[in-house]
Amino acid sequence: MDPASKMSKPSGVSGFFSALFDPLFSALRLRAEVRFFRWVDKHTPADNRHLLTRKKLYIFPSWRGIGFIGVVLLLWLLGTNYQNNPILGLSFLLTSILVVAILRTHANLSGLDITYVGAGQAHAGSEVDFHFKLTSSSGRFVENLEAKWQRSEQRLIHIDVPPAEMVTISVPLFAPQRGWLKPGRLLLESHFPLGILRCWTWLVWDAQALIYPRLVETDKPSQGGGEGEDEGFHPLRGGDDFSGLREFRAGDSLKHIAWKVYARERGLYVKEFGQNLSRELWLSLDLLPTSDLEEGLSMLSYLAVALHREDEFYGLRLPGVTLAPNRGEDHKRKVLEHLALFGLGDSVS
Amino acid sequence: MKRAAGSVAGRNGSDSTYSSEASGGDMAEHLAQTQVNRSALAWMFVAQGLTLLPLFFYLPKWLPFLWAAAVILRVQVFRGVWGFPSSTVKALLGAVGVGGLYLSFNRFLGIEPMVAFLVLAFTLKLVEVKSRNDLLLVLYIGFVAIAAQLIFNQTLWLSFYGVACTLVLLAALQSLFQHRHLRWRRQLKHSLVILLQAIPVMLLLFITMPRLGQIWSVPLIQEQAKMGFSEDMSPGDLANLARNNAIAFRVSFNEGDIPAPQNRYWRGLVLDAFDGRKWERKQRWYPIINGARSSSQLHPDWRLNNLEPEQRYDYSVMLEPHGYSWLFTLMPAVKVESQALRTLFTNNYLLLATERVTARSYYKVQSLQRYSVSTEQLSVDERDVQLALPKVGNPGSRRLVADWQAQNLSAEAIVNRALAMFGDDFTYTLQPPTLGVDSIDEFLFESQRGFCEHFASAFTFLMRAAGIPARVVVGYQGGEYKTGSEHLVVRQSDAHAWAEIWLEGRGWIRVDPTAAVAPARIERGFSESLNASDSDLVRVGADAGFAGMWVYRMQSRIEQWDYLWHKTVLSWDNEKKSQTLQRLLGSLDPWRTALFFIGSLFGLLGLYFLMGLALRSRPRLALETQLLNRAKARLSSRGFISNPSETPRAFAARVKSEFPQLGTQFDDIVSSYERVAYRAQPQAIALLRRRVAKFRP
């Protein structure tokens, strides 16, 4: 992904110069960026609705625009050297087009109304969508926008907002870890109409997405000791439904050995199968074949999702948190929210 | 398709049944190159074809075929029939192209090979256009190609064509950066708005920007088709030109007098060597240019310190490129100024450019109204040159002259005898019979019909035979005065040949034997002087009937615009800039110019901004909604105002509860509205329109 990594190492004189100047330039650039974003943050406070006005929009020639300026200069040179007024006129015409394009590019974004709608659900290690509603309050057709989070490489392109219509966009952001994810600054930019200018804005949102723990596959814990036995239904052995694990005893069928658990060197267990139509399972850290908290939470999330998919009753028992067994979408969300925020100091809203 | 207000279009257009144009975007990786879509490709072909078309006329004839082949190749690649050519194929194509250029030109320097190379690169780039940036490069080369057109030809029409090409290039550029697909007309309209907004700013730049001189010297056009008469004169040469209605040059008189029609002799070339049939120059060009004087100072021969306006003709000549180095002036030019040309005076008082004239050129001349030259004795060498005749041939003419000399006539009397002879028996015609070996004898004693070159040639021969130094001068005579734009138009058909003779005590004087035969030719111009059968040959002006008249008028109007274009735009320089700014601003202070520039620029941009605001205040509603609103507005005059939350149907019910008849009518309107808006029956719009028109509460 990183273009710099693909380039071969420069050699010779240019290598010497780039070795000399590159750190200097990148340091200068970093400084400028830090100052710029400090300024941006001061002028556009976080909000969940932004109307793009002059104050929030920045405009500058794009790389293509710099090429265009090069063409203008070339034509000017040709016209001057040939003492040819029509060619000079053409170069002046292109200059004026550049000037008019400033207005047009700015007008394309100006008056766009963006409202934060909400964030999607996601587990750590995947992308979460942030949803926005776009309307054009200027009565103009807002053409070909691009949107991306500052921290993301993923770019949403080809956004068109007709006048008097509302368009919903979903801008994805990679979620590295569980807990509340603040998306940072949203870049919204447009090169319309001629591509020679880039008009953009950095918007800070009063938004956050709850990121559930990463999903780590695990086997369902056996409902061995603890309160689970008192509250849940006892499984009838010999059925088809997987009900849990128990320690290997001599005489157990080799077919029922939980090889995956064995492979993790956690001991020899046997899968038990039951037949009850509704059972309750307790999700708890101490039933898991791990002692790492994050891994445990990830496994519990996996189990919660798996059990939800099987439409089972399950409860959550974490230090300080107990959710009675239940099932359904809402219950899953609650369970995952507790898992996401466990130990982070934030409370579930 | 219905565009409902407030509809929500989902991501990737999943809910796009509501809207044809809304788009919630597509995902792209960081470095993803946007692929070229069909309409952008089509725009590129059109834009490239248009920009290349005028260039093809100046370049080798195989280049258009190469371009067509490249288009076909690219279309086939787009259709998936062929793959992109491999780099070997591309290198081969490039090598073949460059080799072809070398074969066509035999050189790489010079403007034509360079433009041809640009066109070749432009064409071959087409083959490998893959991404948006490639396409952008092609379009940028397109702008340079327009400049190349303008190097070859700067007429008004081609300049307009260049603007049209710019428009199409803009449309192509815009289609690259627009996601929704527009019909070509709308796309052009959008670009036209940008172009129209840019033009006032361009004019501002054009007026205020200072012009610099050439920064470095550049190759000029070398292959210019030759126009007008050539370096020598045989019988029939000028008669061929008489059919050519093209403009040779235009003259505008800056101040002071305009010469009378019979004095408008534009000297171009002096021919002083005769071989029995053909007149040509005695000297090669090189010694002529070597012995010439710079024309930027007053000519020293005239011993002038300054020129009073009443002593001189002060005029500017706009010369069409003719591919030769001679320039046209009234005798005698004493001072010439030109920006584009370096000009010299020869010892014959002709004006020469150091380079051949390959582009429209502009020069300012001062000529004396009255003059006499070489009143003292001619040098022996020059006398020999101006009296030289072939040793043999044309015995009849020599006998005639011997006859006159035997009568002991003075030189003036001999001249008058010759002119009287022409005036009595000779006919001025465009269709002279062809002449044999002793061309002068045959003309004088047998055919007695001829065009100006016959008369000039025979007259000069007679004078030389009589011992009077004489020479032939070729140039143009006359010119049509355009009263609207106050300038003279001199055409190729005005090409003329006359004689200059040297008389003791009077120096070189002009004698035009044609004037003795056909005075109308000199006084009223070429087309007036022709008889009916000759007129049919040249077909100019009123003789050609109503349609011909119309064509003639149209042509003359177009020529006038072209002239104005040249005078105002092409010859715009710092001097004109200063004059204009002086007139506009009152003085030339730099701060005034700067203020004018900045004020106008921001004024214009402010105006565009306000226009944008005015546009935003009224979003366009769908036609059916407009019609429904009209009906509602009529109801409001009866006191019915619909609530925003009320559906049209509910509103109709409310009206019906009070005025059943009115309500029923309105209900019908609503039902046809619903058919258009919600049931996808666009044909119901006609019914809706009729019902609303009839609805008069």
Model pLDDT, residue B50: 93
> In sequence order, what DSSP letters do the residues of B19-67 get, joined into one string?
-SS-EEEEEE-TTPPPBP-HHHHHHHHHHHHHHHHHHHTTS-TTHHHHH
Identify the closest residue of chain A to B6 by CA–CA distance.
A165
- In tens, the pLDDT along B217-267 reads 776 666 666 777 888 888 777 777 777 778 889 888 887 778 888 888 999
Which of B28, B209, B612 is the closest to A155 by Cβ?
B28
Q: Is the pLDDT of residue B52 over 50?
A: yes
> Distance (Å) from the C-alpha of residue A44 to the closest C-alpha of chain B?
24
Three-state DSSP class for residue B380: helix
- In tens, the pLDDT along A189-226 reads 999 889 899 999 999 888 889 999 999 888 877 654 44
Task: Report which listed range, A109-113, A262-266, B108-112, B257-261, is most confident.
Answer: A109-113
Residue B319 belongs to what H/E stretch? strand B312-319
End-to-end CA distance of chain A: 37
- In tens, the pLDDT along B501-534 reads 988 888 888 999 888 888 777 776 666 666 655 6
Model pLDDT, residue A65: 93
Amino acid present at B519: P
| B140 vs A contacts (CB less than 8 Å) | 67-68, 71
| B601 vs A contacts (CB less than 8 Å) | 99
Residue A19, token pair as written in the block: 């070795």
Distance CA B311, CA B598 (A): 46
Q: Is the pLDDT of residue B5 over 70?
A: no
Record: contact A195-B176, CB cut-off 8 A: yes
Q: How far is CA B533 from the centre of its chain?
A: 33
Touching A: B residues 188-207, CB under 8 Å = 190, 194-195, 197-202, 205-206
> Distance (Å) from the C-alpha of residue B310 to the closest C-alpha of chain A?
34
Distance CA A282, CA A291 (A): 17
Model pLDDT, residue B697: 73
ipTM summary value:
0.76
Distance CA B548, CA B542 (A): 7
- Looking at per-residue confidence, does A259 or A76 come out higher? A76
Touching B: A residues 70-129, CB under 8 Å = 71, 74-75, 77-90, 92-97, 99-101, 103-104, 107, 111
Three-state DSSP class for residue B233: strand
Record: contact A96-B8, CB cut-off 8 A: no
Give B376's pLDDT tier (boundaries 50, 70, 90).
Answer: confident
Which of A133, A138, A192 is the closest to B178 by Cβ?
A192
> In sequence order, what DSSP letters do the residues of A258-318 get, joined into one string?
-HHHHHTTS--EEEEEE--SS-EEEEEGGGSS---HHHHHHHHHHHHHHHHHTT-EEEEEE
Three-state DSSP class for residue B670: helix
Residue B544, token pair as written in the block: 């050609």
Give B459's pLDDT tier (boundaries 50, 70, 90).
Answer: very high
Mean pLDDT of B648-663: 86
**pLDDT > 70: what percent of chain B?**
88
Residue indicated by tokens 């546009």: B615
**In this structure, are residues A151 and A127 in contact, taking their beta carbons and an 8 Å threshold?**
no
